[in-house]
Structure 1
Amino acid sequence: MSPWEIILIVLLSVIIVLLVLGVIVYDRFKELMRKQRVGFVLQDEFAGEAPIVFLGDSLTDFYPTGEFYSPYNVANRGIACDTTADVQARLDEVIALRPSHVFLQIGINDLIREGKKLTAEILCERVFKIVDALVAEGIEVTLLSLYPVRRKKYFIVSPAVLNHADNGRVNAANELLAKKAAAAGMEFCNVHAELTDGTGELKKEFTLEGLHLTLPAYRQITRYLLPYVKRAEQTRRDNLCQISEADN
């Protein structure tokens, strides 16, 4: 066997091992996320009455909403790796919280996993299926734009993490989401614009590897969203007061 054949066999073996490990790690991670979903049931007991809910994937899950919105009754219901289908599947659990308001940010994992076969139109339909289900329960919804990503070369892991998700596809989805939100008369927060650099990419200091966000990014998001959260909290309190007065 020649040295080149040995090298090739070793490389193929390493690739196979890495792929197997990747599958194992992913399955383990999904199991942890399933347990997190179960854990939400325990947290619901302490969520307060008619909470404001942040709902989404890892970009919501890793958002320290408890600290950034500490004066307000906010519950974080983000789960890492979630797609629109995953959120749809656990929507009954969110509705069971009887939230007064939901801030929804979801969709990037759909783009990452399904690649270019997923159109902006289909993604928009999936997001609004969630929106419609919440609105049907009398819950106010504020829809957040998808956040930008960063595919610069010096983020070595970015292509692997982002797969087919790029800012062109993110922007196309955001444009449709904004139009549909306007047609429905609902709030759409273009947080995307708060996070981009001069080239339309996610700012370097705002990301860990091109997708997930740093604390400075979440601080910027909070500064943008705070007026919306304050208004939602005031509405929540006013409604609770009206209910209390009606009961008396």
Structure 2
Amino acid sequence: MRENMKYDTNKYQLRESVLKRMLQIISHQKYKGPAGTVFYGDSITEYFDLERFMPAIDHKYNCGIGGITSNMLLHFVDEGVLKYEPEQVFLMIGTNDLGNTLMLSPRDIALNVKELIEIIHYNLPHCKIHLLSCIPCIEDQHGYKSTKQGMRSNDILKMIFKEYKRMIPYEYVHFINVYPALCNKKGEPIKNYYVDGLHINDEGYLALSKAIQDQL
């Protein structure tokens, strides 16, 4: 995130809120239970009330970090996933890589996520890995045509999931497409599910959680 920076190359800047969240995740490791489940990703994950929407999963840990990118999640995977020694992990990554700082291609995002998955698998070979698609955005609020920044669009968000399936051909990865769950019959994102066009409200999380559970 650039915030007030007049010049930046393509380097993601760590902000106070991100660092505080990272320290919070590290501090929660001491409370881990057996056969836990980690949810690892960006703000869509961080704001996911797991106790409310995923009650059937015991020992669940929300390790989402608002504003984080796929590359930064690589640098935090030991603290954010491995040290929890989970039985399974859910990954939702990608939309922040399309922001105005990085603007990665779907292929580059998929390569980062592939490396992340490999690190998890070879450290925790018995851990089940669930890779979720990105959710859609309301383009007239957060699409690149309306913001004049970045390259986020629903076509590109869908393309990320296609690249996941193409670039990550591992039998130990379970793909979950949650994108359609936030859309109407025409394939358009349902505005009533959104807080600001990017983040979802309780109705959106209810639809998201149902889509996850239906595909397990």
TM-score exceeds 0.5: yes
Stretches of structure 2 lacking an aligned partner (at least 5 in a row): 6-12
Q: 1:161 and 1:208, CA in 2 relative to 1: closer, same or farther beyond 3 A?
A: farther
Shift of 1:29: 8.6
Aligned residue identity for 2:116: I
**Structure 2 Cα separation of the partners of residues 203 and 103 of structure 1:** 24
TM-score by length of 1: 0.73
Question: Partners of 2:42 and 2:142 in 1: how far apart?
Answer: 23
- Range moving further from structure 2, 219-228 or 79-88: 219-228
Q: Which amino acid aligns with 2:203?
A: P
Structural RMSD (CA) = 2.7
SS of the residue 1:42 aligns to = helix
2:100 alignment counterpart: 113
CA deviation profile, 1:140-196 (whole Å, cap 9, x unmatched): 2110001111113xx489833974200111111111213344x31221000011112
Residue from 211, 215, 223 that aligns with 2:210: 223
| Corresponding position of 1:42 | 27
Structure 1 residue 227: Cα displacement: 5.0
Instruction: Give, in angstroms, the shift of residue 201 of structure 1.
Output: 3.3
Question: Does the CA-based 8 Å contact 2:111-2:167 persist in structure 1?
Answer: no
Counterpart of 2:61 (choices 47, 68, 75) is 75
SS at match of 1:197: coil
Question: Does residue 165 of structure 1 match 2:152?
Answer: yes
Q: CA deviation at 1:32?
A: 2.0
Hey, what's the Cα distance between the residues in 2 that align with 1:196 and 1:39? 33
Alignment of 1:84-233 (within 5 A): 84-93=70-79, 94-114=81-101, 118-137=104-123, 138=125, 139-152=127-140, 155=141, 159-160=146-147, 163-181=150-168, 183-185=169-171, 186-227=173-214
Runs of 4+ in 1 over 6 A off after TM superposition: none
Alignment CA distance shift 1:156-1:80 (3 Å): closer
Deviations 1:60-109 (A, max 9, x none): 00111122223422110000000011111111112011111110000110
Over 3 Å counting, the alpha-carbon distance change for 1:89 and 1:33 in structure 2 is same
Question: Matched residues in 2 for 1:147 and 1:192: separation?
Answer: 5
CA distance in 1, matches of 2:148, 2:30: 35
Paired with 1:206 and 1:104, the residues of 2 have a C-alpha distance of: 21
Asked if the contact 1:149/1:201 (under 8 Å) is kept, the reply is no
The equivalent of 1:17 in structure 2 is none
Shift of 1:119: 2.0
Q: Aligned partners of 1:191 and 1:162: how far apart in 2?
A: 25
Residue 202 and residue 189 in structure 1: after superposition, are their counterparts in 2 closer, same or farther (change >3 A)? same
Larger-gyration structure (1/2):
1
Distance across 1 between alignment mates of 2:198 and 2:135: 9
TM-score (norm 2): 0.83
Would the alpha carbon gap of residues 177 and 157 (structure 1) be closer, same or farther in structure 2, given more than 3 Å must change? closer
Unaligned runs of 5+ in 1: 1-19, 230-248
1:120-154 deviation digits (Å, cap 9, x = unpaired): 211111111111111112122110001111113xx
Equivalent-residue separation in structure 2 for 1:176 and 1:157 (angstroms): 20
Size of the aligned set, in residue pairs, is: 203
In 1, are the aligned partners of 2:101 and 2:150 still within 8 Å (CA)? Answer: no
Compare the two structures and name the one with the higher helix fraction: 1
Distance 2:55 2:76 in 1: 25
